Structure 1
């Protein structure tokens, strides 16, 4: 999606004010422009035609009204042309004769290579808009995309009304087609029942069924699971699980569903029937998909809780047993030392003590845990039996599904024992108890085996449920086999990968050989050692020499920059980047709408709620802020607004000293929350309940991706997803290297990232992960023998190569997110051919990384610097979000994404503002002849916040920026009056 460089595309008039940055970036005159103007036009005509030229270049639209040309642009044009600064009055006088305006516009179009749209191009535009309308979330998005399409093809953008009429016609056709699909897919009786949810009262909650369905899951508890299952059951009774609506992209389904979510039920009832049906059907369908995911997530967490409790009970029992054994030993010792008893009497006494010991051998710790788990059979059964309603499917012979079916039948018949003639497959670890003499415990063991196997099967993809987003059948998640067969060559060309593994492995083994030689060289030099634990060890990096000058210079710089109010920062950055226009998909209509948008952003991105923010902005009430907060939940807009701000920050030359923009680090930051939030987990460092905000921070400090996550889970999927989503918006290749901590990588993740075109570079803390894994075909230096494990099978990589490429192509094309893909093909998929290939390839790539990491000190320093840079940005985020997520907030997926995206946008606004001020200060100092070295600037960063006042009354300087940010220009208001 085009970014900052397309800011003025499609604009029909100039704002009343422009910043110097905007003038120089969007409305600049080149030397060739000036030469052409001077050659073609006489002196009194040059200013007018120059303004027409730069406006056409920036917007792709003719400038028909010159009554609001900003003074900054007039002054710039005068200076560049060597003229006295032109005035608006002189331009009006110049264009009193329409032919003069027409001649200037025709010349400017010819000079820029712009042509008026003709019939064939209208047809092409209409066809493209019809295609794009299937993906666009709103009609405003569709029209903006049409502007971009015309601009990129050097076609003059036609009149706004003409384009809007075409857009409305196409949008109406799309809605009619979708309605026709709904009526063909959903029976009339189900549509009538669906419409009834708007007014029918729910039996127990006291609210309408629609309000009940909109209520997000509460805390992690059996009660929440029961209520979620009741909602899924209700939606399945409506038939929502049978509605085949896959022809409509999921994000578009979400956008229609989000309108119902954001609107009061009484407003929804007032919609015309066709619009109401459209939004309601997608709301019910998306709600079913999300609730199913939520239920399966809660089920997995509940199973984990039961297993953890069994571990804790087993540990307690084993501790007590150890005490009992010790007491028995002491008693035996006392008998042995008793000199009054004969040897025969001592043997009899010792025999009595030993009679209490069981005859069976001591079970392993894992077997003891399984036995303890069967003692918790009431909670297991209460969890397992209701899940049958969901309709799980799986591979042929999937043991867990057969066990679930049998347990259900036995439960229906009120059986309390597993019949002796029961023939059901179980894993070897459960077989002894299932086939044991105690048939009651056998049934309990079968139930425990079923629920733990069900959780593992769902995570590994061998079990699925198709009315879900994340737990669907694998072939539905990935490019279908038939489509892959037909489009394989195109995907491989896009990825730059060979059709077979051999060429890739040949290059990789060559790099490995060179890397091992380099590692052996530094080992011989004593810079790397191999410890008695069989792992590679390094001494700490030496600190770079410094005399304190960079720190003193930074302090002086921010002292000169001075203190800043957060509200001023937000509005100034909006004037320079236009992020509010991205968030609204148009310019704000009035000051109240604009300030409400800022307030909604602050309410989402800080610990404050709508009521608290309203108290800080006197002209707003909480209802206006709540409306703006719901608008920010529209999919994709916060991400695009963040891209706009980061792109602005990167235009400053100082950022080139911090990095190239092709390296980044990623890590999670925890936000404290209520323990009653159903996906809150305990932060292992601070021991408080929290949710994670995963961010990708460029080497130039901007945050280019964010996503909310569950703490204490592997983060390789979201790390890869962030790079892919960022790179799809870049023309310069995007990120080539991502530094992560130990949680941000897996072997499968390293393989997938490499095949997607970038390197995942982990900071490995676990010494066991510092092994060098090699195939037997690669000879390693003798000095590294202790750390080499020849466990890699190149055959496994070759056998799974094609399916691995299909997985990677599915991620690259956006068919499945890397987050879901790495969950399905991660450790839970052990035994799967794709997992085995990715795991072995990932170990090879990790070996190559370790060779570089241990042998190249500069490479190691760079990785640590990137991770530290990410931590400094997290400190800024904590200064913005200093409290807890409120208990009633963040329960919905859309709301949690809006919280993460808003916090990221507020953080990027501070970074961009600081970068701009730092650049201006450096330029000013150098203009005055003051010495400031680039090496000093490299050691500074814009994630500084001591000078920013984030709290207190928020007073937005509307008067200063309204001409640049509001849709209605002053001359329009004057005409209306």
Structure 2
């Protein structure tokens, strides 16, 4: 999606009003422009030529009419040319002759290097649109991309109708090709069966089968797991798992599926056959993929629950055993001291007490947990039964699959004992229990071993399932081996990495030596000490000196800005950024659609539902807001709108005082919710059920990435994913450093982030327990010996370098998300060459980071400031979203993403508006000669909300801004054509 600089590309008319910001950013005349106009045209013709010039430069399209020219632009043109402000009447008179208008257009095109589109360019455009249409989600998006393609190649954009006709033709061709793929892949009998089944009534659910499939998973429970499995059975009975449609991008599949998701079943029946077939097939396909992920995720959680239950039960049992053991010792002690009884009697009683002790030696705690888990065989069997129905695949002779197949055969045959000659490999931890004499208990132990190992193997990728998004085969997620072999050089060039590990290791080793020298220097200076416990100790950071002026300046600044209504704020930022056009993939057609869009943003981004928002706005009804909320669930639109707003915020010079935009912090924020929400977990701090919203906050305060997450899980993957996707949209290199807390860091994560071109900088908990890991044989100062571990081997890095590069290139190219990649190659993948390489490399990089962190006070201060800045933005988000996520909200993945993206967009709107007002106020003060030091401004930020009214009655000032935000009416276009 084009950025802020492409806002007017493809427009054929100007809005009735323009802001001063728009005039200076999009329609500015340079000194060379003025000189060329003065040289070419006589005095009374210069204004018209200038308007054509600036409009062509901003839009790449000829100006369709001059009946509505903004007064701000006319005033600017007159001022730059040294002329009286031109009037619309004079320009209309000037352009009454078509030849005059045509001559000005030809001159402007020649001056800007624009050329008319010819047959060859039409052919190139059509070919490019065919390719882009395979990924674009709507026709409007395809046309936007086509306009930008023409603009970047300096080709004059043709009339909208001509381009739209071509777009419709290409779009129809893509749909025909997709239908042909479906006809070749999906048997007609399966299609007819699916179509008939979806409109039938579900016996148990009391609704149509289509509505039943639309219902997202409820809370984590055995009932939810059973219902999810029932849906997968239904889809597999139709044959959905055999439909190979992987050539269609998954986002494209989701776009077609969402249409059925957002439509009532009766309306689906009214669609023409081809459209219904497209939507139906991809709805069923995407539903199966997501349900499979959901089932495996629920299974993993269920296994964790069973293990945790066994752990707690074992702990209680061991505590009870310890008490009983002590009581026996006390009784024996009393018998030893009892001189009133004969020795023979006391020895006999002591023998009785000792006889109660088991003969076998005490098992370890882990072994005891495994025994307790085996006793819970009924719940394990209820969990294994559905898994045996799924068609897992894996590596050759994968032990997990062999165990699962054996258990399925035994269950089918009704066997209750494990045969002695079962022939299935058993891990050392479970071997004693599986080989015991009690064959019933041996079968139970095998079942417990199978369910725990399957969970681990799914996470590491040695076992997979084909009809899944997150648990696919590794080679399906990564760049295929043949492609990697042929395009390896290109990927390495994009990553800026060497073909072998040696140059990278040499450079890292030199940096480690410098870091260790700096750390030793800090130790000698007393800034770092090594205590008797053999750990590093840091003194607290000293607060920067302040005289209170920055705080008073901030208060005066926001007092001068004054209060604001949220409705006014949203429309003002929309006028300057056009985020509503990004969300709709076009301008709003009328005021009702525009206000419905604002209402949908609030319904998603606050705790207020559609009815509540409609009561606050009173300009639209709840139904219109609910329908528009579905539009915000379309993939990518909220993220592109957020990028547009952040880009606008960063255009203000004041943001350069806060940072360079090349550093950021990332952390999660909890949103309270019902325990019935599928993604809900207990927040460990507040002990309430919540979901996480993970955000990346620039050092300039804008939020550049957001994603909903599950709490209590490692966040290194989402931290890396957000940075990679942000950097992929930037031409200045993007982020170079990302500050995270302990949850956002792993050794593998540090290695992957470094190879992707940025540093992961964790604020580690318990720094005193952190060791410095160095390669074997590396020299260092003797005084640092207590905190150094020479346990790093460089051989795994060299051996696994190619696989590690392939993983990183796959993340960079978008084939796999960093979240999934770090799950597959995290701690569950121990023993894998890629994991060993990343783990060893990550430890070295962590050592280098710790050297900088301990020795460089300013670096440590900057890291803490970045994280504190992120917390201040989270405070603003909590002000906007003050309540809980409703129990009926956020059950679907798309809806949860829309909630996260809408909250982020509302937050960015406040930050951008505050930044613009702060800049304007500071400029006004300085214009009056009032002193405002940059050092004062550097210590204040725009994440301020006390002056904004987010609640109450909201009235959007449509009369002020609708001319700039709404699409031109048909009669206006006709008048200007």
Q: TM-score range by the shorter chain?
A: over 0.9
C-alpha distance after superposition, 1:828-876 (max 9, x if no partner): 1111110000000000100111111111101111110000000000000
Counterpart of 1:829? 829
Give the Å deviation of 1:390: 1.1
Q: Secondary structure at the match of 1:464?
A: strand
| C-alpha distance in structure 1 between counterparts of 2:769 and 2:722, whole Å | 24
| C-alpha distance in structure 1 between counterparts of 2:780 and 2:230, whole Å | 60
Unaligned runs of 5+ in 2: none
Counterpart of 1:413? 413
| C-alpha distance in structure 1 between counterparts of 2:101 and 2:666, whole Å | 53
Counterpart of 1:573? 573
Inter-CA distance 465–974: structure 2 relative to 1 (3 Å threshold):
closer
- Whether 1:433 and 2:433 are equivalent positions in the alignment is yes
C-alpha distance after superposition, 1:778-807 (max 9, x if no partner): 212111111111111110000000000000
Counterpart of 1:912? 912
Q: Which moved more, 1:403-412 or 1:584-593?
A: 403-412
C-alpha distance after superposition, 1:894-936 (max 9, x if no partner): 0000000000000000000000000000000000100010000
Counterpart of 2:90? 90
| C-alpha distance in structure 2 between counterparts of 1:140 and 1:545, whole Å | 55
Give the Å deviation of 1:171: 0.6
Give the Å deviation of 1:971: 6.5
Counterpart of 2:478? 478
Counterpart of 1:313? 313
Counterpart of 2:197? 197
1:408-557 correspondence runs (5 A): 408-557=408-557
Q: Secondary structure at the match of 2:792?
A: coil
| C-alpha distance in structure 2 between counterparts of 1:250 and 1:306, whole Å | 34
Give the Å deviation of 1:416: 1.9
Give the Å deviation of 1:534: 2.7
Counterpart of 1:259? 259
Q: Are the aligned partners of 1:672 and 1:691 in contact in 2 as well (CA < 8 Å)?
A: yes
Give the Å deviation of 1:343: 2.5
Q: Secondary structure at the match of 2:800?
A: helix
Q: Secondary structure at the match of 2:739?
A: strand
1:698-847 correspondence runs (5 A): 698-767=698-767, 770-847=770-847
- Whether 1:156 and 2:156 are equivalent positions in the alignment is yes
Give the Å deviation of 1:773: 0.6
| C-alpha distance in structure 1 between counterparts of 2:779 and 2:256, whole Å | 59
Counterpart of 1:282? 282
Give the Å deviation of 1:975: 6.4
Inter-CA distance 512–364: structure 2 relative to 1 (3 Å threshold):
same
Counterpart of 1:631? 631
Q: Are the aligned partners of 1:963 and 1:970 in contact in 2 as well (CA < 8 Å)?
A: no
Q: Are the aligned partners of 1:15 and 1:969 in contact in 2 as well (CA < 8 Å)?
A: no
Q: Secondary structure at the match of 1:705?
A: strand
Query: TM-score scaled to structure 2, two decimals?
Result: 0.99
Give the Å deviation of 1:690: 0.6
Counterpart of 2:213? 213
Q: Which moved more, 1:758-767 or 1:818-827?
A: 758-767
Give the Å deviation of 1:777: 3.4
Q: Which moved more, 1:402-411 or 1:935-944?
A: 402-411
C-alpha distance after superposition, 1:402-449 (max 9, x if no partner): 111111111112222222333321111111111112222211111100
Q: Are the aligned partners of 1:601 and 1:902 in contact in 2 as well (CA < 8 Å)?
A: yes
Q: Secondary structure at the match of 2:775?
A: coil
- Whether 1:644 and 2:644 are equivalent positions in the alignment is yes
Q: Are the aligned partners of 2:205 and 2:212 in contact in 1 as well (CA < 8 Å)?
A: yes
| C-alpha distance in structure 2 between counterparts of 1:256 and 1:340, whole Å | 91
| C-alpha distance in structure 1 between counterparts of 2:14 and 2:198, whole Å | 46
Counterpart of 1:331? 331
Q: Secondary structure at the match of 1:544?
A: coil
Q: Are the aligned partners of 1:590 and 1:968 in contact in 2 as well (CA < 8 Å)?
A: no
- Whether 1:955 and 2:955 are equivalent positions in the alignment is yes
Counterpart of 1:115? 115
| C-alpha distance in structure 1 between counterparts of 2:338 and 2:667, whole Å | 66
Unaligned runs of 5+ in 1: none
Q: Which moved more, 1:194-203 or 1:935-944?
A: 194-203
Q: Are the aligned partners of 1:2 and 1:729 in contact in 2 as well (CA < 8 Å)?
A: no
Q: Are the aligned partners of 2:537 and 2:768 in contact in 1 as well (CA < 8 Å)?
A: no
| C-alpha distance in structure 1 between counterparts of 2:685 and 2:200, whole Å | 47
| C-alpha distance in structure 2 between counterparts of 1:59 and 1:246, whole Å | 37
Counterpart of 1:941? 941
1:361-380 correspondence runs (5 A): 361-380=361-380
Counterpart of 1:19? 19
Q: Are the aligned partners of 2:536 and 2:768 in contact in 1 as well (CA < 8 Å)?
A: no
1:155-174 correspondence runs (5 A): 155-174=155-174
Give the Å deviation of 1:111: 0.6
Counterpart of 1:47? 47
Inter-CA distance 970–915: structure 2 relative to 1 (3 Å threshold):
farther
| C-alpha distance in structure 2 between counterparts of 1:533 and 1:19, whole Å | 64
C-alpha distance after superposition, 1:333-376 (max 9, x if no partner): 22112111232322111111111110000111111111111111
- Whether 1:344 and 2:344 are equivalent positions in the alignment is yes
| C-alpha distance in structure 1 between counterparts of 2:81 and 2:198, whole Å | 65
Once superposed, what is the RMSD of the aligned Cα atoms? 1.2
| C-alpha distance in structure 2 between counterparts of 1:135 and 1:719, whole Å | 26
Q: Secondary structure at the match of 1:837?
A: helix
C-alpha distance after superposition, 1:756-790 (max 9, x if no partner): 01111100113376211111132121111111111
Q: Which moved more, 1:579-588 or 1:781-790?
A: 781-790
Counterpart of 1:6? 6
| C-alpha distance in structure 2 between counterparts of 1:536 and 1:238, whole Å | 63
Inter-CA distance 108–769: structure 2 relative to 1 (3 Å threshold):
farther
C-alpha distance after superposition, 1:133-180 (max 9, x if no partner): 111111111110000000001100011111011110011011000000
| C-alpha distance in structure 2 between counterparts of 1:408 and 1:537, whole Å | 56
| C-alpha distance in structure 2 between counterparts of 1:268 and 1:310, whole Å | 49
Q: Which moved more, 1:348-357 or 1:405-414?
A: 405-414
C-alpha distance after superposition, 1:206-245 (max 9, x if no partner): 1111111000001100000000001111111111111111
1:49-64 correspondence runs (5 A): 49-64=49-64
C-alpha distance after superposition, 1:306-336 (max 9, x if no partner): 0001111111111111111121122112211
Q: Are the aligned partners of 1:742 and 1:763 in contact in 2 as well (CA < 8 Å)?
A: yes
Counterpart of 1:131? 131
| C-alpha distance in structure 2 between counterparts of 1:438 and 1:361, whole Å | 19
Q: Are the aligned partners of 1:963 and 1:969 in contact in 2 as well (CA < 8 Å)?
A: no
| C-alpha distance in structure 1 between counterparts of 2:970 and 2:223, whole Å | 57
| C-alpha distance in structure 2 between counterparts of 1:300 and 1:362, whole Å | 30
| C-alpha distance in structure 1 between counterparts of 2:389 and 2:485, whole Å | 36
Q: Are the aligned partners of 1:478 and 1:816 in contact in 2 as well (CA < 8 Å)?
A: yes
Q: Are the aligned partners of 1:16 and 1:969 in contact in 2 as well (CA < 8 Å)?
A: no
Counterpart of 1:598? 598
Q: Secondary structure at the match of 1:762?
A: strand
C-alpha distance after superposition, 1:452-487 (max 9, x if no partner): 001000011111011000000000010011111111
Give the Å deviation of 1:525: 1.4
Counterpart of 1:891? 891
Q: Are the aligned partners of 1:115 and 1:154 in contact in 2 as well (CA < 8 Å)?
A: yes
Q: Are the aligned partners of 2:776 and 2:790 in contact in 1 as well (CA < 8 Å)?
A: yes
| C-alpha distance in structure 2 between counterparts of 1:75 and 1:197, whole Å | 66
Counterpart of 1:65? 65
Inter-CA distance 848–237: structure 2 relative to 1 (3 Å threshold):
same
Give the Å deviation of 1:619: 2.5
| C-alpha distance in structure 1 between counterparts of 2:969 and 2:78, whole Å | 24
| C-alpha distance in structure 2 between counterparts of 1:818 and 1:535, whole Å | 33
Q: Are the aligned partners of 1:528 and 1:536 in contact in 2 as well (CA < 8 Å)?
A: yes
Q: Secondary structure at the match of 2:791?
A: coil
Counterpart of 2:228? 228
- The alignment of Structure 1 onto Structure 2 pairs a total of residues equal to 976
| C-alpha distance in structure 1 between counterparts of 2:634 and 2:647, whole Å | 22
